[in-house]
Structure 1
């Protein structure tokens, strides 16, 4: 699951951009940019991780693909 889809699903679950900011720590302008496609081609690990964790809490279990992407990014960050 890509970061835009994560944000879209959070909004579909009834969250506003400001609620996403408060609960994830990701700035509202970043959330807006991710939704419009102006940002997100290479989001930081911190942004992805914060939004993915919020998505897990709000929307339920993460998909296998989301966990694989997170694990890959985490291992690349350590290298």
Structure 2
């Protein structure tokens, strides 16, 4: 329901269930399973995801690459205490 042709991507993070996404020109809703890490503190994980996604966007990554990079960064961020 969030998709419209004017969007370049729709990305939904779902915590321990991973990430769902769709990019422009795609007809499939993709799912990236979560990274299995020892969770210490999830503070700032969403902010980390968004920052890493934006960084990957500036580097020219496609939708799948942006999501994969951001998910990995967020997974690393929850392995320590406090926002990282």
Shared fold (TM-score, shorter chain, > 0.5): no
Tell which has more relative contact order, 1 or 2 (C-alpha 8 A, sep 6+): 1
TM-score after normalising by structure 1: 0.29
**By percentage of residues, which structure has more helix?**
1
**Higher Rg:** 2
**By percentage of residues, which structure has more strand?**
2
